[in-house]
Chain A
Amino acid sequence: MVSAQVTFSEISPSEFFYRNRDLAGFGNPARALYMASRELVENSLDACETAGIVPEIYAKITPLNPNAESADPRAYVLRVQDNAPGIEPKQAPNAFGRVFYGSKFKLRQARGMFGMGGTMAILYGQITTNKPVKITTSVDGKKFYSFTMLIEIQENKPSILSEETMEGEGNTGTSVEITLQGDHLRSSQKIADYFRQTALVSPYANITYVDPLGRLSFYSRATESMPPPPQETKPHPHGIDVEAMRRLVRDSDEKTIQKLLIENFHRVGERTALKFLEFAKFNPQANPKSLTNEEIVKIVDAMHKFGDQEVKQIQDERRVEKFLAPDASCLSPLGEEILRAGIQKELQPEFLATEIRPPSAYSGFPFIVEVGLAYGGKFLQEGRRLFRFANRIPLLYDEANDVAWKVLNEGIDWKNYKIPENAPIAIITHVCSTKVPYKTVGKEYLADRPELERELKNATREVLRQLKTYLSRKGSMEMVKRKLNIYGKYLPLIARFAQELSQANRPPRYRGLIGEQAQAEGAEEKVEATAEGQAVEQKQEEEKQSKLEEFANV
């Protein structure tokens, strides 16, 4: 423990990130411009949503020297402004200038963790352009606190260069303006995609984006309803790691291990705590402070194993003791209404289906999968598209490594849904969790956890089933229309020839025949389309085929 502290004191978190900035997605100027925009926008959205305020986000990227004929990469000014409740002037510098500030032990579904990304963006701007960040914030819409600051990298603390307080009439909120080295040429597409997809997944937000060429994109709000703000939750024992446990032991005031577990963990009550400690062979009454490093490792290990397969074998089936799966009340899925509104707004599809899966969990972390499907319409082009979201963040890179991609391309037998190969389809997947299972620190694609894969697969199948039903209905309606046309064309001809051949002196009275027939046949087709049994469909298909064949031979 002592040696660990020494290590931490020698390199501050800020410095750590400074040295490893490519890990956080700031590896090159193109990616950095995209990441910085994204981090600031996400902080703003998180702040609004947590406070239950419908977001108004304004983002603008301008070249630092608009007139200079310099090529990318060059310095850009990025400004993101929101209507969140703002930050108290006293806390503001630390909120932005210190990595891990206010780091929480509790878990909450949020776009970013601990607001680290925003600080990274500021840090990156500072080291590439040596310009301070300018922040203005107001908690009441009357007093506006504005300051510029640099981050003291080695000491992990803000250093304020100037500050002022202005008075006026306006809104609460925060504006962050950083100057950073960026490459717009090579990132404009990704940034544009980011805003558009963010608008899709947050249709309750008004988002304005002005790009370096002065082009304005406005994504207007489609609904006023927002998902309820996510609740904080205690960690589930299955999801705890050694370091978190060590910090918990250090910071906790509880006098016994049992009490420590009950107070700090999800799904751990008095009885479960006792049973667990019995299983882990710890004295429930021992003082947590007395735990050695080895014991902490042992207890965490036991938490992961308690109630799992191996243990079950040595215990009596009926008396299996385990931690209940985490409950999902801490999650905030979009819900059907918002998901639909977002897809409708951004893709304007001809057909739209959604499926919200019930909560599930992996390794002690609850998650919910939501899948939307958009078909046809003005914007979708032929072929399949996948829009991936995790905790309302669009995932734009490394699509082919994502579990959703795997599900779509390997887990689904598309033939079952009778959807044409190149049909214009977009699949929208949203995974929300207290801890999204990203495969890498880059946070661009999700690991193929079996639980997650299963939920994605089930949800995707459901929306595809809905599309299949829609397409077959549509097909039969078009059939009716087509039939009306065909009958309308040929019956008069038959009538005319019949009159001439029979030498009758008036045309036959056959009106009324046309509509009835087309409708009758249309109804037939519908029954066929919704037929429960595959066998029924199969049989009819075969009959049709043999009729056709006979016809061909005639």
Chain B
Amino acid sequence: MKSSQTSKKEELKATLKEIGKKVYSDLDQKKFPEVAFPSRSVRNIVYDNKLKQYILGQNTVTRSAGNIKHIRPFTQLFWLAYFANKLVSESKTSTLRDVFYSSQAFDVDFVDQPESDEIITDLEAVISRPREDFNIYPEERSAIFGDVTIEYTVPGYEGKTLNLSSHPDGYLIGPSLSTAEFRDTSAEMIIAIEKGGLFTRFVEEKVHSRYKSIIIDTAGQAPRSTRYMLRRLNRELKLPVYILTDGDVYGEHIAMVIISGSVGAAHLRELTVSDAKWIGVWGSDIIKYKLPTIPMTEIDIKRIYELKKDPRYKGGIWQKELDVFLKLKRKSELEAFSKFGLTTITDKYLPEKLQEAKSL
């Protein structure tokens, strides 16, 4: 099992070297180097029914150093390949913001961070790997808690193991956890929950032992490292994933992105958990459990209409729940269960929904 992370790293370095060699030989032959990768323009993003996620279509973008309009982004992209190679070789990690500042030592002229973020996404598309593979992580971090033993692969911690139920606040899903190998677990499922407050409640109420689960706080829309972690847990440990969100259109979409991926990551695979289940809070739960609600805004309603047209929302409970939300024109939060007592959500709602999930 040790090889999975190490070989990934070697593969990546080989890919980057290949790109470097091509550009080098082009230059050496007095040719303008160019690089082609799938276009991420809206027109080229299509939904793949088999994969159940958005993917990029056939269109490619060719960025040539010979084109006056391309040479700057080309240089930036190529600088990033060079920088990523260094990060991976030296086992260092970086963040999006960090990359922006690191670039300034090389005079590659990023105007602002969104521009360098774009180039990072370009490199992802060029090598078809998420930026986490070349050690660039976002700032936002979510947390994990539960009985799973991991073994670090990061420098200085190689071979060290840790059980993720040792600390009740949970563990940040950062670079070292993302690259750790899973050693052992007694858990039988994963519960991903949208909010930090509920995550703490679940730990306090011992949801991890009562339901033999690993609890993950997605901290809102799950970051890619978290989605990647969910997928690995799901694939490597063969654990089902259940998702709990607020009872509104955004909650439903948080679940959907974990299951089917986002438009923005259409150039990437291996970030989805296609058999994960959204177990609540559904629109119909709001009625069933008589949850306190607040009215939706115009924007909420607009968003529902948008998602109703989204191919990811075809079939299953997705359209049905959107319709319920649309009819209610009111929304509810996970905390709303507290009206009936602080533990209602763990004692009553969660087991009922886990039961219901079996039939999904």
B17 at the interface (CB under 8 A from A): yes
Chain B residues in 8 Å Cβ range of A517: 32, 66
CB-defined interface of B56-83 with A at 8 Å, one 1/0 digit per residue? 0000010001101101101100110110
Count, A-B residue pairs, CB within 8 A: 99
A166 at the interface (CB under 8 A from B): no
The A115-166 residues at the B interface (CB cut-off 8 A) are none
Known: A510-B28, A513-B30. A554 touches B23 (CB 8 A): no
A501:B27 contact, CB within 8 angstroms:
no
B65:A500 contact, CB within 8 angstroms:
no
- Of A62-70, A400-408, A484-492, the one contacting chain B is A484-492
B108 at the interface (CB under 8 A from A): yes
B107:A493 contact, CB within 8 angstroms:
yes
A508:B27 contact, CB within 8 angstroms:
yes
User: Which of A486, A509, A510 meets B72, CB within 8 Å?
Assistant: A486
Chain B residues in 8 Å Cβ range of A8: none
Chain A residues in 8 Å Cβ range of B30: 509-510, 512-513
B61:A554 contact, CB within 8 angstroms:
yes
Known: A495-B27, A554-B39. A500 touches B72 (CB 8 A): no
A498:B122 contact, CB within 8 angstroms:
no
A510: nearest residue on chain B (CB-CB)? B27
Known: A510-B28, A550-B39. A494 touches B61 (CB 8 A): no
What's the Cα separation between A489 and B107 when bound, in Å? 9
A479: nearest residue on chain B (CB-CB)? B68
B33:A553 contact, CB within 8 angstroms:
no
Chain A residues in 8 Å Cβ range of B219: none
B33:A494 contact, CB within 8 angstroms:
yes
Majority secondary structure of chain B interface residues (helix, strand, loop or mixed): helix
A499: nearest residue on chain B (CB-CB)? B24
CB-defined interface of A507-549 with B at 8 Å, one 1/0 digit per residue? 0111011000100010000000000000000000000000110
The B65-118 residues at the A interface (CB cut-off 8 A) are 65-66, 68-69, 71-72, 74-75, 78-79, 81-82, 85, 106-108, 118
A7 at the interface (CB under 8 A from B): no
A422 at the interface (CB under 8 A from B): no
What's the Cα separation between A501 and B41 when bound, in Å? 29
A550: nearest residue on chain B (CB-CB)? B41
B79:A553 contact, CB within 8 angstroms:
no
A290 at the interface (CB under 8 A from B): no
B79:A502 contact, CB within 8 angstroms:
no
CB-defined interface of A463-503 with B at 8 Å, one 1/0 digit per residue? 00000000000000000000100110111011101111111
Chain B residues in 8 Å Cβ range of A490: 65, 71-72, 74-75
What's the Cα separation between A486 and B65 when bound, in Å? 11
A497:B81 contact, CB within 8 angstroms:
yes
What's the Cα separation between A495 and B31 when bound, in Å? 12
A504 at the interface (CB under 8 A from B): yes
B21 at the interface (CB under 8 A from A): yes
Chain A residues in 8 Å Cβ range of B296: none
What's the Cα separation between A304 and B78 when bound, in Å? 81
Determine how close the nearest CB of chain B comes to the CB of A503; give it in whole angstroms.
7
B69:A504 contact, CB within 8 angstroms:
no
What's the Cα separation between A509 and B17 when bound, in Å? 19
A501:B17 contact, CB within 8 angstroms:
yes
B19:A501 contact, CB within 8 angstroms:
yes
Determine how close the nearest CB of chain B comes to the CB of A99; give it in whole angstroms.
71
Chain B residues in 8 Å Cβ range of A501: 16-17, 19-21, 23-24, 81-82, 85
B24:A508 contact, CB within 8 angstroms:
yes
Chain B residues in 8 Å Cβ range of A489: 107
Chain B residues in 8 Å Cβ range of A508: 24-25, 27-28
CB-defined interface of B6-44 with A at 8 Å, one 1/0 digit per residue? 000000000011011101110110101100000111110
User: Which of B24, B41, B106 meets A498, CB within 8 Å?
Assistant: B24
B106:A502 contact, CB within 8 angstroms:
no
Determine how close the nearest CB of chain B comes to the CB of A204; give it in whole angstroms.
48
B45: nearest residue on chain A (CB-CB)? A553
Chain B residues in 8 Å Cβ range of A503: 17, 20
What's the Cα separation between A499 and B17 when bound, in Å? 10
A521: nearest residue on chain B (CB-CB)? B68
A486:B39 contact, CB within 8 angstroms:
no
Known: A493-B107, A498-B23. A553 touches B41 (CB 8 A): yes
What's the Cα separation between A283 and B23 when bound, in Å? 99
A518: nearest residue on chain B (CB-CB)? B68
A483: nearest residue on chain B (CB-CB)? B68
User: Which of A493, A499, A547, A554 meets B79, CB within 8 Å?
Assistant: A493
B20: nearest residue on chain A (CB-CB)? A501
B17:A498 contact, CB within 8 angstroms:
no
A494:B74 contact, CB within 8 angstroms:
yes
A491:B69 contact, CB within 8 angstroms:
no
Determine how close the nearest CB of chain A comes to the CB of B304; give it in whole angstroms.
26
Chain B residues in 8 Å Cβ range of A493: 75, 78-79, 106-108
Determine how close the nearest CB of chain B comes to the CB of A528; give it in whole angstroms.
14
Among B25, B40, B72, B78, the one with the most A-chain Cβ atoms within 10 Å of its Cβ is B78
What's the Cα separation between A512 and B17 when bound, in Å? 25
Known: A490-B75, A493-B108. A509 touches B28 (CB 8 A): yes
What's the Cα separation between A387 and B17 when bound, in Å? 67
Chain B residues in 8 Å Cβ range of A487: 68, 71
Determine how close the nearest CB of chain A comes to the CB of B168; give it in whole angstroms.
45
A498:B40 contact, CB within 8 angstroms:
no
Known: A486-B72, A504-B24, A509-B28. A494 touches B107 (CB 8 A): no
What's the Cα separation between A553 and B118 when bound, in Å? 10
Determine how close the nearest CB of chain A comes to the CB of B114; give it in whole angstroms.
12
What's the Cα separation between A553 and B40 when bound, in Å? 7
Chain B residues in 8 Å Cβ range of A509: 27-28, 30
A554:B65 contact, CB within 8 angstroms:
no
Known: A500-B20, A501-B82, A512-B30. A486 touches B40 (CB 8 A): no
CB-defined interface of B177-194 with A at 8 Å, one 1/0 digit per residue? 000000000000000000
User: Which of A491, A498, A547 meets B20, CB within 8 Å?
Assistant: A498
Determine how close the nearest CB of chain B comes to the CB of A533; give it in whole angstroms.
25
The B307-336 residues at the A interface (CB cut-off 8 A) are none
Determine how close the nearest CB of chain B comes to the CB of A8; give it in whole angstroms.
79
User: Which of B24, B43, B65, B122 meets A502, CB within 8 Å?
Assistant: B24
Known: A487-B71, A490-B71, A517-B66. A497 touches B28 (CB 8 A): no
What's the Cα separation between A497 and B78 when bound, in Å? 7
Determine how close the nearest CB of chain A comes to the CB of B81; give it in whole angstroms.
6
User: Which of B40, B65, B85 meets A491, CB within 8 Å?
Assistant: B65
Determine how close the nearest CB of chain A comes to the CB of B293; give it in whole angstroms.
39
A509: nearest residue on chain B (CB-CB)? B28
Closest 3 pairs between A and B when the two form their complex, measured CB to CB: A501-B20, A553-B41, A508-B27
Can you list 9 A-B contacts (CB < 8 A)?
Answer: A491-B65, A491-B71, A494-B33, A494-B74, A497-B79, A498-B27, A502-B17, A517-B32, A553-B39
